[in-house]
Chain A
């Protein structure tokens, strides 16, 4: 227990040190958390959802970064059902500006994602439908560098899911879930606000 405490204190102590950058910005590893607002679920603005997630970033080069994320998002389907999305994926971030250490660092991103979606009847938890699918996403964002190691990131991205289409309808008070055979494109617009802390420069 005492060893664990000493280890934690030493680890914390290293967080307060300036990051020792080797060669270039490639190799910077950071950890973060983010909150998500999911809008336009299948084009419907009314059923906006909220989510929470985490990510780690591994920078490949001075102007190319990567973001590996997990998101947990819940949304309403009108007032009769709820929807839960789990996203796990990655994005590549490209910084168009040459300045590496400004306060604002804009970027564009594109990437892939795997996801699990579950629709559940509010009145009967045993009445549900689920599906696994994959997705691609693209968007833009910016890091606001609060300190050399800490940034606040604001991102907007559109995620298109490729998979079986599932939806929910209320027919005469009975909630029915439908799964349409064949693949379809559907998506949602995601907004993220995240906080990231640079842990180390790995190479």
Chain B
């Protein structure tokens, strides 16, 4: 059993460290996935369609824009407070730290939410911001797997029942796509001059 684990770890390490590094400066990545959420101030679970596009500025920083589109009728709630519709859009910067093709990231994104409820005629346009932490593994030059958690801070104001805090924890995971917009700069080995 111990031998089997050692063999698995060793082979896994060879696979992981023997690969070409797919995430680098100039990587443009995007995805669309289904993202369930839990509202932190209410007993409500929402479902969003989550799409993002991100661009890697260098090894450690990227810019990212993303949208969460509320899927009407998919929420489960113990209260009467459910959205009629919502779309939350964010743009911000992310810090990355990883090993080869395994990338861990966290970021901050200011944004805006357009939310429809029963308690106001028309939509509420709410300033919002989000913190995200996540991890991704780049399996090939065009694909990666990712999983992340987003905290969104939103206050719905101007409702007939008064202001409502609408903070959420949103979980996103799935398959992402990427291309490299810059050619990889070859690392030349310097040969000592004897």
Which residues of A line the B interface, CB within 8 A? 9, 12-13, 15-16, 33-36, 50-53, 72-76, 79-82, 120, 122-123, 125, 146-147, 149-150, 152, 193-195, 197
Contact = CB atoms under 8 A, between A and B. Distances in A.
A13 B182 contact: yes
Given A16-B56, A193-B108, 16 more contacts: A12-B26, A12-B55, A35-B127, A50-B155, A52-B110, A52-B111, A74-B126, A74-B127, A74-B157, A74-B158, A82-B157, A122-B160, A125-B122, A150-B61, A150-B63, A152-B93
Interface string B96-127: 00000000000010111000000011100111
A79 B92 contact: no
B57 interface: yes
Given A12-B28, A15-B57, A82-B157, A33 B127 contact: no
Contact of B159 (A50, A52, A122): A122
23 contacts: A9-B181, A12-B28, A13-B181, A15-B55, A15-B63, A34-B110, A35-B127, A36-B127, A50-B153, A52-B110, A52-B128, A74-B157, A76-B163, A81-B158, A82-B163, A120-B158, A122-B159, A123-B160, A125-B158, A146-B95, A149-B57, A150-B93, A195-B92
Nearest to B24: A16
B129 to A, nearest CB: 4
B127 A150 contact: no
B70 interface: no
B58 interface: yes
Interface centre among B126, B128, B163 (most CB of A within 10 A): B163
Contacts of A52: 110-112, 127-129
B69 interface: no
Contacts of B120: 125
A164 B185 CA distance: 61
A82 B164 CA distance: 12
Contacts of B121: 125
A12 B62 CA distance: 12
> Would you list the 5 A-B pairs with minimal beta carbon distance, nearest first?
A52-B127, A82-B158, A35-B110, A82-B157, A79-B162
Contact of A50 (B26, B93, B127): B127
A186 B108 CA distance: 32
A16 B129 contact: no
B21 interface: no
B163 A79 contact: yes
A20 to B, nearest CB: 16
Contact of A73 (B127, B158, B161): B127
Contact of A147 (B58, B112, B127, B159): B58
B45 interface: no
Nearest to B119: A122
Interface centre among A16, A79, A120, A194 (most CB of B within 10 A): A16
Given A13-B26, A195-B108, A35 B162 contact: no
A89 to B, nearest CB: 17
B137 interface: no
B25 interface: yes
Interface centre among B92, B127, B155, B162 (most CB of A within 10 A): B127
Interface centre among B158, B162, B163, B181 (most CB of A within 10 A): B158
B25 A16 contact: yes
